[in-house]
C-alpha cells in the first residue's frame, strides 16, 4: 500500500477535517468562464458558502476526451466568452480574497498547460491559491511532464482510476498520487449513466487496499440522493454535469443567462451538501 507522500495542502487538511467529523465531502465542478467570466466568478466565489467542501474548476479546452456533452458545451460557451487559462487563475485569486480555507482543484488537459509553460503555470497556480491538479490525459507513465514538478511546487496531483483499472495497474496509478484518488464510477464520459452504489463500494474498498489516500467518486452523480448514496461508501462525492446543466438551461434564446441562474446553481449545491452531510446519520 502507498501512503500520502505529497505536499500538505488545503486538500489534505480538508480530508483530515472530514474524517474527524465522520462524514464525506461534497466536491463541486464548474467550468471556468461558463457562461461568462463574470458570472462564473460570482458563482464560484459563493459556492463554498452554499456547502461545497472542495471546488473543482474546469480549465476550458476545445478537445476534451473525458467530458460528456454537458461539460463539452460548457467549455465551448466559456471559450466563446473569451475564457483563458490566465483568466481561470484570476477566478481562483478572486475566490481566495474571500476564502483561504476551501481547497481548489483545477481539472483539464495538458495542451493548454504545455503551451502556457509548465514552470510558469505551476508558479502562477500556486500563487493564485490552487491546491491540486487533475490532468486527464497525463497517465502515470508521463509523471515527469507535470506530476512530479507539481509535487515539487507544493501542489497535489490527483490521478483518475476507473472500473477498468485492475489490481495490476492500481499500484502504478497511486504511486505518486496525492491529495485524493478520483474514482470514475462508470466506463464512459461525464454526465451520462449512473453507477450502482454497491458496485462503487466494492471498487472503493479495492482502491483502499492499494493506498491510504481519500477516495472521491464522480461521473453520473446528479441528485442529493445519489450524492448521499456515494457519500456512505466513499470519502467524497463529485458533482459536475448537473450543476453545469443548470447554467445551460437557464439562458434566454440569445444565450444570455437569466437573472436567477446563480441562485439556482447554489440551491442545488445546498441540496447536495445536505444529502452528503446527512448520508451517514440515517
Instruction: Write a three-state SS string for 60-75.
Output: CCCCCCCCCHHHHHHH
Is 67 assigned a catalytic role?
yes
Non-local CB neighbours of 77 within 8 Å, separated by 6+ positions: 31, 33, 34, 35, 247, 248, 255
Non-local CB neighbours of 201 within 8 Å, separated by 6+ positions: 232, 233
- Selecting among 46, 53, 56, 131, the annotated active-site residue is 56
CA-based angle 88:94:97, to the nearest 5? 145
The bridge status of strand 160-161 relative to strand 181-184 is: parallel
Structural contact between residues 123 and 153, judged by C-beta atoms closer than 8 angstroms: yes
Q: How far apart are CA 269 and CA 281, in angstroms?
A: 19
- Selecting among 34, 46, 67, 131, the annotated active-site residue is 67
Structural contact between residues 11 and 53, judged by C-beta atoms closer than 8 angstroms: no
Catalytic residue IDs: 56, 67
Amino acid at each position: 500500500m502507498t501512503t500520502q507522500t505529497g505536499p500538505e495542502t488545503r486538500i489534505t487538511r480538508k480530508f483530515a477535517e472530514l474524517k474527524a467529523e465522520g462524514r464525506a465531502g461534497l466536491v463541486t465542478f464548474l467550468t471556468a468562464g461558463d457562461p461568462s467570466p463574470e458570472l462564473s466568478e460570482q458563482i464560484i466565489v459563493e459556492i463554498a458558502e452554499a456547502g461545497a467542501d472542495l471546488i473543482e474548476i474546469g480549465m476550458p479546452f476545445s478537445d476534451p476526451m473525458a467530458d460528456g456533452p454537458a461539460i463539452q458545451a460548457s467549455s465551448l460557451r466559456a471559450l466563446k466568452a473569451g475564457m483563458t487559462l490566465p483568466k481561470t487563475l484570476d477566478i481562483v485569486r478572486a475566490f481566495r480574497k474571500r476564502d483561504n480555507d476551501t481547497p481548489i482543484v483545477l481539472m483539464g488537459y495538458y495542451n493548454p498547460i504545455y503551451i502556457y509553460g509548465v514552470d510558469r503555470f505551476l508558479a502562477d497556480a500556486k500563487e493564485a491559491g490552487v491546491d491540486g491538479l487533475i490532468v486527464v490525459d497525463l497517465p502515470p507513465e508521463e509523471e515527469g511532464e507535470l506530476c512530479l514538478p507539481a509535487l515539487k511546487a507544493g501542489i497535489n496531483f490527483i490521478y483518475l482510476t476507473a472500473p477498468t483499472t485492475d489490481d495490476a495497474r492500481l499500484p502504478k496509478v497511486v504511486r505518486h498520487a496525492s491529495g485524493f484518488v478520483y474514482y470514475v464510477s462508470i466506463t464512459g464520459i461525464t454526465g451520462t449513466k449512473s453507477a450502482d452504489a454497491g458496485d462503487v463500494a466494492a471498487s472503493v474498498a479495492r482502491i483502499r487496499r492499494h493506498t491510504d489516500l481519500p477516495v472521491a467518486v464522480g461521473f453520473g452523480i446528479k441528485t442529493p440522493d445519489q450524492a448521499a448514496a456515494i457519500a456512505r461508501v466513499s470519502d467524497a462525492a463529485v458533482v459536475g454535469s448537473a450543476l453545469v446543466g443548470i447554467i445551460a438551461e437557464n439562458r434566454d434564446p440569445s444565450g444570455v443567462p437569466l437573472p436567477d441562474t446563480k441562485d439556482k446553481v447554489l440551491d442545488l449545491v445546498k441540496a447536495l451538501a445536505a444529502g452528503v452531510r446527512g448520508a451517514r446519520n440515517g
